Structure 1
């Protein structure tokens, strides 16, 4: 099954969920139902889709809708790094011989990003304040259905409700500066994350299963020019491993988003690492970023400028006894 969340322009302007049929028609579910409300029970999710296909509250052309993120307000967003070619490429920003650290191979590393920054697949994205090297990241995220704690790899995959295309927009200069403090990315990553257009259940993708994911092509383009491609199946870690690690000593909950991390060739930073900083200019006002994954759809987002808002001096106060500096 394939689902979308869209803004209802001919009603009260609120969000509506619909199921997409083979003819690209969206059959609306009853008003007030959110996709996240159906995810913890696969049978209920499929029954809701079947009911809408038989007796829809409304039918729309997919192309006519203003699409929202399928899960507009996820409880959490974890972003992993599971494509080795991407990790290798970005590592080379530190030198031509640099590569993934040994620790990367030990477990699927992740960081928490901002669940309040979720955007839809057609929304403009603003360049974050202080950023001069703006970038995109082409990923696929798993969405948790049934929650759980301390899940094993063997049982974790059954907790996946579906998958969505994800773009983790990145202020690279801000990110690289703040990570010198030896914490994960923060302001370099929290301005926008684009999800969608389509939420796809695992059974829909089963014929394409390959490697650690699915044998489907992932493509990134800037202003109509393809800048990177990869296969989704090239993940070095599986989603089951990701979920098992995320749930260790804590819970994953219904609606949680777990991003795969950037695929090979799925961002400009990788190009900069492999070919130098002049390989492609950073994203600028007026650029259009188009990301697509077979069977998960396409995002097309325009980059816009945002005026800086002064926040005052953020530097630490120097203390001579602690070796501080102004």
Structure 2
């Protein structure tokens, strides 16, 4: 099934069920009002939402209405925690984010997870407000999962069972401010989907579909999200659970989608600049500026958008 959160002037919005083709929606009134409620009582509420989802897809839901991505908050507008990768060795190697001596040949030993701000995410069509162009505005286009409860010490296989929903994400990075302060905001696609919505493209914790990134109307990336993924989502989540349990409503991202074959483009500007520096001695591609636009989307094997598109503009403070 596919779930979204509509804006209603509250912090957590209103839960809606969205049809498979993203054409119609229905409030989940009477079942749950927020996504977190569903995550807290998944076994009881998810089957009821699925029944509503089937009615919506069959055209028999009595109070259906046209789905509008402009009304969407992030599917989970705030979360207990937001942790991200990177899960792609080619990205780590190109950026040189860990010393070569510490890397096994072509790989790194364990995921390098980092905690991000989770007190408030933005919706797929919300403007990205940045204090200054001098911050080095970048995007990190990635996939993320929302978890149920996962116990401490869970194996990768057990951790995979704890994944409830998949999402499309864009992490805004301010490269000039460093790792601690340089990640001010994260946007998520209009809808979150259960893994079965991806069909056989979801396999062993990887999503084998291409992620398309368009910057100012120009396609800059068309990367297979599964092919270059060194650590799958079960491994990322199990690594997080090594020393603590993970609560329902946690979000885990896999970092910028990357591929060893550079002809597929890029999912973050810093990686592009690193390749340029290696080739010519200096970067050529600039970071984002006010007025720049970004569009991100993944289409299923049927050609339909899986999560809906993230479409945003970089803007200065009001």
* Counterparts in 2 of 1:212 and 1:147: CA distance versus 1, 3 Å: closer
Aligned 1:299-314 pairs, distance under 5 A: 299-306=310-317
> How many angstroms does 1:261 deviate by?
0.5
Residue 241 of structure 1 aligns with which residue?
Answer: 235
Residue 34 of structure 1 aligns with which residue?
Answer: 34
Say if 2:52 is the partner of 1:51: yes
- Deviation digits for residues 105-145 of structure 1, max 9, x if unmatched? 21111110001241111110112458431000000001102
> How many angstroms does 1:213 deviate by?
0.4
> How many angstroms does 1:217 deviate by?
0.5
Aligned 1:58-207 pairs, distance under 5 A: 58-63=63-68, 65-91=70-96, 101-102=102-103, 105-128=108-131, 131-175=134-178, 185-189=179-183, 191-207=184-200
> How many angstroms does 1:287 deviate by?
0.6
Say if 2:19 is the partner of 1:21: yes
* Counterparts in 2 of 1:67 and 1:61: CA distance versus 1, 3 Å: same
Q: Are the equivalent residues in 2 in contact too, given 1:29–1:57 (CA < 8 A)?
A: no
Residue 268 of structure 1 aligns with which residue?
Answer: 269
Query: SS where residue 274 of structure 2 aligns?
Result: helix
- Deviation digits for residues 281-306 of structure 1, max 9, x if unmatched? 21111011111122222100110013
Q: Are the equivalent residues in 1 in contact too, given 2:137–2:172 (CA < 8 A)?
A: yes
TM-score, reference length from structure 1: 0.81
> How many angstroms does 1:269 deviate by?
0.4
Cα distance between partner residues in 2 of 1:13 and 1:44: 22
Say if 2:211 is the partner of 1:221: no
**Unpaired stretches in structure 1, ≥5 consecutive residues:** 176-184, 308-326
Query: SS where residue 3 of structure 2 aligns?
Result: strand
Query: SS where residue 297 of structure 1 aligns?
Result: coil
Q: Are the equivalent residues in 2 in contact too, given 1:130–1:174 (CA < 8 A)?
A: no
Cα distance between partner residues in 2 of 1:241 and 1:36: 24
Query: SS where residue 241 of structure 1 aligns?
Result: helix
Cα distance between partner residues in 2 of 1:3 and 1:100: 44
Q: Are the equivalent residues in 2 in contact too, given 1:108–1:237 (CA < 8 A)?
A: yes
CA RMSD, aligned part only?
2.6
Q: Are the equivalent residues in 1 in contact too, given 2:215–2:294 (CA < 8 A)?
A: yes
Cα distance between partner residues in 1 of 2:117 and 2:13: 21
Say if 2:280 is the partner of 1:279: no
* Counterparts in 2 of 1:282 and 1:51: CA distance versus 1, 3 Å: same
- Deviation digits for residues 126-170 of structure 1, max 9, x if unmatched? 124584310000000011023422211221100000110111100
The equivalent position to 2:244 in structure 1, one of 239, 243, 250, is 250
If you compute each CA radius of gyration, which structure gives the higher value, 1 or 2?
A: 1
* Counterparts in 2 of 1:158 and 1:283: CA distance versus 1, 3 Å: same
Say if 2:220 is the partner of 1:209: no
